Each structure stands twice: as C-alpha cells, then as structure tokens.
Amino acid sequence: MSHAVAPSSGSAPGGFSRVFAPVPVTLTGRVVRLEPLGPEHADGLLLAGHHEALWRVTVQPPLVSADAVTRYLAHAAEQAARGDEVPFAIVSCETGAVIGSTRWMDISRPHHRVEIGGTWLSPAVQGTLANTEAKYLQLVQLFEVLGAIRVQFKTDLRNTQSQRALEKLGAIREGVLRRHMVVRDGFVRDSVYYGITDVDWPGVKRRLRERLAAGV
C-alpha cells in the first residue's frame, strides 16, 4: 500500500499557506487501485454499473448501455477539464477489472475543502474491503499529500447502507439538508452530510488501518 509523507500542520497565524490543488493521480493499495477516469474504462464501467438497483436513489442515470457510459465519461471529462471534479475508476488489483467509480467534487481550493462523492461499487464487491481501502487511499492523499482541512460526504437520507458505511469509516454525521436535491425519478430528497477534518484524521486513519489489517 502506498504511503504519503504528512505535511506540516499548516496552523500558523493567518491560515494555511499551502496551495490546495487536487489533480488526477493513481492511488494503489492491496485490494484496489484508483486510476484517473478515462475512455479506456468504458467497457468495465458498463459491466460493473449495469445493475439498475445501484442508481435507485441517485441523480446519475443508470449505466445500462454503452451510450449511457459514453455520456457519463463525457460529463466527467468536462468537469475535470474545468477543474471542478477529479474522477476516478476503481479497479480490482487482483483482476484488473473496473469495479466502480468515485470522484473529488465541490472542490474549494481557498478553504482546503473537498467532497468525496459520486461513489458506486459493483454489487459483487459491496461489503468487501474495496470501499474501505478506496476511501483510505483518497483520505491519505487529500489530508497528507494535498493538505485538506475538511473532507465531506453526502448521501440520500433514504440510503441507510451508505450512512452505515460512512459511520463505519469514522466520518461524523453533521446534519440533514431538507429537500436538498431532485434525484433521477423526480423525488426531492433530503441529504445527510458527514465530515472528516484534519483534526479528526489521525484517529480515523488509525482505525482504518486497523480495519484494513484485520480484513474487516
């Protein structure tokens, strides 16, 4: 598993002097590898993402056709080109197959804040270490290499599976934004926000490393 060098605390008077600049990068662990998302992942995205149930409470249209994947990749490329998002394919280290995707979004460079979102995994790997390690690799990169102050997550209030996973991760439930987003079926959802700060990170990192070592 790759390890990054921790930066200085950045707590000098006047705030952080470091530049917070999330950019595409390959992050490699024992179970998964995160690669900058591109056209080469199209076939794998369709195979991993064609399950309709994956998209039930999302804004994203389901990846059930080659055309849907093409639109998905085009949108991701557009957001990346503008610097608004950094999208990744999640790849199995064992098989080399695409098993999902995630991205950095809502990037606030002046405030060293970013959201890990748009995350989905093939049903075949849900409940495995894939999600835990994918999140761990991103959090190490964001906090220890890039100098994030806050990493946040949001999920549909109805998505209790996602909420349990975030709480297991060590993210703090911070509140609910009522009637926050219109999702794919026209439902107006409430969004639950979770956060991990640079102050929280050492404890979260310790617990995640323990979980990864134990294989749970």
Residue-wise pLDDT for 80-110, tens only, equals 999 999 999 999 999 999 999 999 999 999 9
pTM, to two decimals = 0.90
What is the reported pLDDT for 129? 95
Q: What percent of the chain has a predicted confidence (pLDDT) above 90?
A: 82
Within the chain, what is the greatest distance between any pair of CA atoms? 53
> In terms of pLDDT, which residue wins out, 186 or 16?
186
Yes or no: is domain 27-52+59-206 CATH 3.40.630.30? Answer: yes
Q: With bands split at pLDDT 50, 70 and 90, how would you rate the model's confidence at 184?
A: confident
pLDDT at 8 over 90: no
Segment 38-56, tens digit of pLDDT = 999 999 999 999 998 888 8
* Residues 123/53, Cβ–Cβ less than 8 Å: yes
Q: Domain ranges for the chain, please list them.
A: 27-52+59-206
Which residue(s) pair with 32 in the sheet? Answer: 92
- The tokens for 167 are 């709480």
Where do we find the tokens 């060293």? 112
Which residue(s) pair with 195 in the sheet? Answer: 152, 172
Q: With bands split at pLDDT 50, 70 and 90, how would you rate the model's confidence at 26?
A: very high
Give the CA dihedral 196, 48, 125, 132, nearest 10 degrees: -20
* Ranges 15-19, 115-119, 121-125: which has the least confidence: 15-19
Where do we find the tokens 């290499």? 145
Closest CA to 86 of 157, 159, 27: 27
Q: For the chain, give the mean pLDDT.
A: 91
Give the residue-averaged pLDDT of 169-179.
97
- The tokens for 53 are 């149930």
For 74, residues 6+ apart whose C-beta sits below 8 A from its C-beta are none
> In terms of pLDDT, which residue wins out, 67 or 14?
67
Give the residue-averaged pLDDT of 21-44.
98
H/E run at residue 73 = helix 66-82
What is the reported pLDDT for 16? 62
- Quick one: the chain helix, strand, coil %, rounded to 5? 35, 30, 35
pLDDT at 163 over 50: yes
* Residues 191/156, Cβ–Cβ less than 8 Å: yes
What is the reported pLDDT for 209? 97
What is the reported pLDDT for 11? 42
Give the residue-averaged pLDDT of 175-181.
96
- The tokens for 200 are 């929280």
